[in-house]
Amino acid sequence: MTFCFPFRLACLALTTSMSFPAQAPIQVSYQHATPAQLAIIAKDNARHFGDDPEIAGHPAADLTPAINPAATERAMRLVADWELARSEPYFDRTWAWGVFYSGLIAASDELNEPKYRADMEKMGQKFDWDLRADSPTAGDQGIAQTYAEIYLRKKNPDFIQPTRDDLDDALDTPYVAKEPTHSIPWWWCEALFMAPPAWARLYASTGDHKYITYLDQEWAKTSALLYDRQEHLYFRDATYLNKTEANGKKLFWSRANGMVMAGIVRTLQFLPPDDPAKQVYLAELRDMATRIAQLQGADGLWRAGLLDQDHYDLPEISGSALFTYALAWGINEGILDSRTYRPVVERAWHGMLQRIYADGRLGCIQQTGAEPAPFRPTASYNYGVGAFLLAGSEVHRIARLEASGATHRRH
């Protein structure tokens, strides 16, 4: 396969008295990063979410984009093992780590690799199976997905009781908005990846339907506020309802929308089959899948801004991986048509492999934030790796099911 790390520079027109044709707008690229954007990168690096060296070595030359179990597993292990080796001393309980942990659990289960689950159990023990705060926001609740999945396998009540205590308190405590635009608990759309799958897993762990009731009512509020039913995409939060891209189109951030699609998937995995909101989630997943497939780039990936992709010089891996995860899961579950979406998944998987370096670094991951922003091709952060492992787990499942002759499930 051919690897390249394109980094196109927009040219600035010279100011003269002569008249020149109109120039294309400056692309969003690292060369044009503002001091505020660079400060976020520095902060994320200092928090050990990852880093973005100027040079990161050669691209991996021995990976194949073929969707078969062996090839997919090789890519997943290369990336997972590299990330684990460098990040384990800094494990924490923020949302960013929660995405990585979810990816490791998915990889462990699909690849039948007990080491990754054992690493996650050690992580839970390190934090006494507790959330980051006694009154946890959605961002604090993300790690509970991993606690619950370990509990569901081992049935040790110590693994889930602190989460249950904290979420029961959340049910009993009226929500108080700290900002005018934070009128609901899940006021930003990435919260739909962080919190609802945790509540669904707590239901699966306890059998108590109150967790599903809360999940459904709060998701409905977020969807009503942020879901654009014409574009079938989510605004990041209420402050973005009227913001636009350089081309005048609405601003929809790829990672935020990837987290919503992945959040739907991870909620459906543990939702009661007779839940009345299930059809709402399935409809959103199908409608978003249709739109995301239309927006896929020629390289198989998506840029940070979905409706002005020519304005961004690099693809963004965390959003691309989350889209791939949701689409591949939908294929595996018989929710999305394989003939329509398997080629989309194939192109995306191929594109992501081109961003893996020889040592296992996964590049082109945007730093944290609330909107599209520039980054280096080498930028690698834990949540992007977790997203890649989630995607890999479902791409591997496609290959495994096809190799075994199994048919996809139907919802």
User: For the segment 369-406, what is each residue's pLDDT rounded down to a tens digit?
Assistant: 999 999 999 999 999 999 999 999 999 999 999 998 87
Cα angle for residues 322, 327, 331 (degrees, 5° grid): 145
- At 23 the pLDDT is 41
- DSSP labels for 269-304? TTS-TT-TTHHHHHHHHHHHHHHHHHT--TTS---S
> DSSP secondary structure string, 243-275?
-B-TTSSB--BHHHHHHHHHHHHHHHTTS-TT-
Provide the total of helices (H) and of strands (E) in the chain, helices listed first.
Answer: 15, 4
pTM for the model stands at: 0.93
Whether residue 220 is contained in a domain is answered as: yes
DSSP bridge partners of 362: 356
User: Among candidates 355, 360, 359, 358, which has minimal Cα distance to 377?
Assistant: 355
From CA 42, how far away is CA 89, in angstroms rounded?
19
pLDDT for 181 beyond 70: yes
Decide: 75 and 63 in contact? Cβ < 8 Å.
Answer: yes
Q: What is the pLDDT of residues 188-212, one digit of tens each?
A: 999 999 999 999 999 999 999 999 9
* Paired residues of 253 in beta bridges: 305
Say how far apart CA 275 and CA 293 lie, in whole Å: 28
CB neighbour list of residue 167: distance below 8 Å, 6 or more residues apart: 136, 141, 144, 198, 199, 202, 211
Residue 71 in domain = yes
Contact yes or no for 356/77 (Cβ under 8 A)? no
Give the count of alpha carbons within 13 A of 276, CB side only: 5
How many Cβ atoms from other residues are within 10 Å of residue 113's Cβ? 16
Q: So what's the pLDDT on residue 25?
A: 55
Taking only the tens place, the pLDDT of each residue in 117-148 is 999 999 999 999 999 988 899 999 999 999 99
- The 10 Å Cβ neighbour count of residue 335 is 21
**Is residue 408 scored above 80 in pLDDT?**
no
Specify the pairing of strand 227-228 against strand 50-51. Answer: unpaired
pLDDT band with cut points at 50, 70 and 90 for residue 16: very low
pLDDT category of residue 12 using cuts at 50, 70 and 90: very low
| 196 within 8 A of 140, measured Cβ to Cβ | no
CA-based nearest residue to 366, from 3, 68, 44 = 44
Give me the pLDDT at residue 209, please: 98
What pLDDT score does 11 carry? Answer: 32
The more confidently predicted of residues 67 and 14 is 67
Whether residue 26 lies inside any domain: the answer is no
Which stretch of 10-24, 54-68, 125-139, 321-335 has the lowest confidence by average pLDDT?
Answer: 10-24
Let me know how long the chain is.
411
Tokens of 381: 């952060």
Q: What share of the chain is helix, strand, coil (3-state, %, to 5)?
A: 55, 5, 40
Checking if the pLDDT of 279 tops 80, the result is yes
Is 248 part of any domain? yes
- Block residue for tokens 């409809």: 283
pLDDT at residue number 7: 34
User: What is d(CA 305, CA 341) in angstroms, rounded to the nearest whole number?
Assistant: 21
User: Binning pLDDT at 50, 70 and 90, where does residue 1 land?
Assistant: very low
pLDDT in tens, 207-237: 999 999 999 999 999 999 999 999 999 999 9
Residue type at position 409: R
Q: Tell whether 4 is covered by a domain.
A: no
Residue 34 lies in a domain: no
Domain count, the chain: 1
Q: What is the pLDDT of residue 90?
A: 98
For 280-301, how does the pLDDT look when each residue is reduced to its tens digit (9 = 90+)? 999 999 999 999 999 999 999 9
Query: Does a structural domain hold residue 24?
Result: no
Element (H, E) at 51: strand 50-51
Range of the domain at 119: 41-404
- Cα–Cα distance between 38 and 33 in angstroms, integer? 6
pLDDT at 28: 86
Residue 173 pLDDT more than 60? yes
- pLDDT above 70 coverage of the chain, percent: 92
Q: Tell me: the pLDDT tens digits for 349-360?
A: 999 999 999 999
Question: Residue 293: CA atoms inside 13 Å, Cβ hemisphere, count?
Answer: 21
Residue 169 lies in a domain: yes
Task: Tokens 């790690």: give the residue.
Answer: 143
The CATH number assigned to the domain holding 63 equals 1.50.10.10
